Amino acid sequence: MSKKQTLRGLVEASDESLQEAAEILLRGGLVAFPTETVYGLGANAHSEEAVRGIFAAKGRPAYNPLIVHVRDIAAAKQLVTSWPDEATKLAELFWPGPLTMVLPKQAIVPDLVTAGLETVALRVPSHPVAQALLAAAGIPLAAPSANRSMGVSPTTAQHVQNSLGSRIDLILDGGSTDVGIESIVIDLSGKLARILRPGSISAAQIESVIGPVTTAGGASGSLPRSSPGMLDRHYAPNAALELFDQNEQEQILKRLKKARSKGEKPGAIIWSGADVKDAETIQLAADPIGYARTIYAALHTLDDLGCNLILVEALPPTPEWSALRDRLKRATTA
């Protein structure tokens, strides 16, 4: 009985569990950990074998590249062949934090990580548990959001447990994530910087640091698919999502009545105080920061309650809400 008992499943982040997590990662295993945005599913980014485990556990298509998490700017530079001034400026301001930069990759980054692309996506997370894990393991960690492919990203350890619990080695519990939506992804590998995925850091904030940026058209736009993982439908719960406008009170009532008559169990997510009767209704904050923090948890909750229809109140058309409008649009596109 002298052998130390191996931790498995969901554990509180602590010195001991972090050490165990680092050992698992160095052995090629999979560890879910909190970041400030959403929980990530980590593996040794230098090991193609370990990274293959991520794709298998998530059911993620091999054409969708992963973000590599590193401790600091110095560690990021070791994985790329060029580091433009824009990267320095953005990293100095936003790292550690919810910013991912795409840059030309070094050959040491396995092709599996980048889905065969010549570029790699890099991020320095600010969550203390993520930082401690990167320090303890001493390797870069490839880590997508810790959910089954196409599902809603996890913002608690329990969300990870529910979708991936039996498929991975360890889940480090660090509480609810703060930002609540995934990092902004910005491509700095071309002539003009391009936002591939919006996030809590706005385009205006980026432009104030590095000047004009373009925005990717996405998979449904006329531009070629630039970020292979930006599938139209993404971040979606099991339930069907429908957007509604708060002025459409009558339509909502009709919609709910119809749903009930078909035996569907409806849920609703609102922010303005819209009056939605006869549905499991979750009221979120009326500001984008507060809304982002709990929107995924709300979707998980309604899924868990067995709602098969979720009416989501449309968001304001202003720039502060654009990343959230993007996420809801992806969740509602069938």
Which residues bind to Mg ion, rule: CB under 5 A?
A: 145
Q: Which of 214, 249, 47 is nearest to 140 (CA)?
A: 47
Give yes or no for a cis peptide into 96 (omega within 30° of 0): yes
Q: For residues 174 and 315, what is the distance between their CA atoms, to the nearest angstrom?
A: 30
Residue 299 CB, shortest distance to Mg ion, in Å, is 14
In the complex, what is the shortest distance from the CB of residue 138 to Mg ion, in angstroms, rounded to a whole number? 25
Instruction: Write out the binding residues for ligand TXA, residues 58-117 only, by CB under 6 A.
Output: 64-67, 98, 100, 102, 114, 117
Which residues in the 112-151 window bind ligand TXA by CB under 6 A? Answer: 114, 117, 119-121, 123, 143-145
Total site size for ligand TXA, rule CB under 6 A: 29
Specify the pairing of strand 99-104 against strand 214-215: unpaired
Query: Among 31, 40, 139, 329, which residue sits at the site for ligand TXA (rule: CB under 6 A)?
Result: 40
Residues 3-22 binding ligand TXA (CB under 6 A) are none
- Measured from the CB atom, the residue of 190 and 319 that comes closer to ligand TXA is 190
In the complex, least distance from residue 145 CB atom to Mg ion, rounded to whole angstroms: 3
Cβ within 8 Å of residue 73, ≥6 positions away: 88, 91, 92, 95, 124
Nearest to 309 by CA among 274, 283, 281: 281
Measuring CA to CA, which residue among 174, 145, 147, 143 is closest to residue 163? Answer: 147
Strands (E), the chain: 9-12, 31-34, 39-44, 67-69, 99-104, 119-123, 141-142, 170-173, 184-187, 194-197, 214-215, 240-244, 266-270, 280-283, 309-313
**Smaller CB separation from ligand TXA, 7 or 160:** 160
Angle subtended by helix axes 322-332 and 288-304, to nearest 10: 20
In the bound state, the residue with its beta carbon closest to ligand TXA is: 229
With both helix axes pointing from N to C terminus, report the angle between 15-26 and 128-137 in degrees, rounded to the nearest 10: 50
> CB of residue 119 vs ligand TXA: minimum separation in angstroms?
4
At 55, list the tokens.
Answer: 């794709």
CB 313 within 8 A of CB 268: yes
Of 161, 163, 183, 281, the one binding ligand TXA (CB under 6 A) is 183
Cβ-proximal residues to 154 (8 Å cutoff; 6+ apart), any chain: 32, 38, 39, 145, 146, 147, 160, 163, 296, 300
Interacting residue with ligand TXA among 230, 259, 284, 302 (CB under 6 A): 230
C-beta of 134 vs 185, nearer to ligand TXA: 185
Nearer to ligand TXA, 100 or 281 (CB): 100
Residue 162 to residue 146: CA distance in whole angstroms: 11
When CB distances are held under 5 to 8 angstroms depending on the partner's kind, the choice from ligand TXA, Mg ion, none that residue 65 binds is ligand TXA
**DSSP-derived 3-state class of residue 132:** helix
Partner in contact with 154, chosen from Mg ion, ligand TXA, none, beta carbon below 5 to 8 Å by kind: none
Single residue of 18, 22, 35, 170 touching ligand TXA by CB under 6 A = 35
The least distance separating ligand TXA from the CB of residue 183, rounded to whole angstroms, comes to: 4
Is residue 44 involved in binding ligand TXA (CB under 6 A)? no
38 binds, among ligand TXA, Mg ion, none (CB under 5 to 8 A by kind): ligand TXA
The distance of closest approach from Cβ of residue 43 to ligand TXA in the complex, given in angstroms and rounded to an integer, is: 12
What residues make contact with ligand TXA under the rule CB under 6 A? 35, 37-38, 40, 64-67, 98, 100, 102, 114, 117, 119-121, 123, 143-145, 182-183, 185, 196-197, 227-230
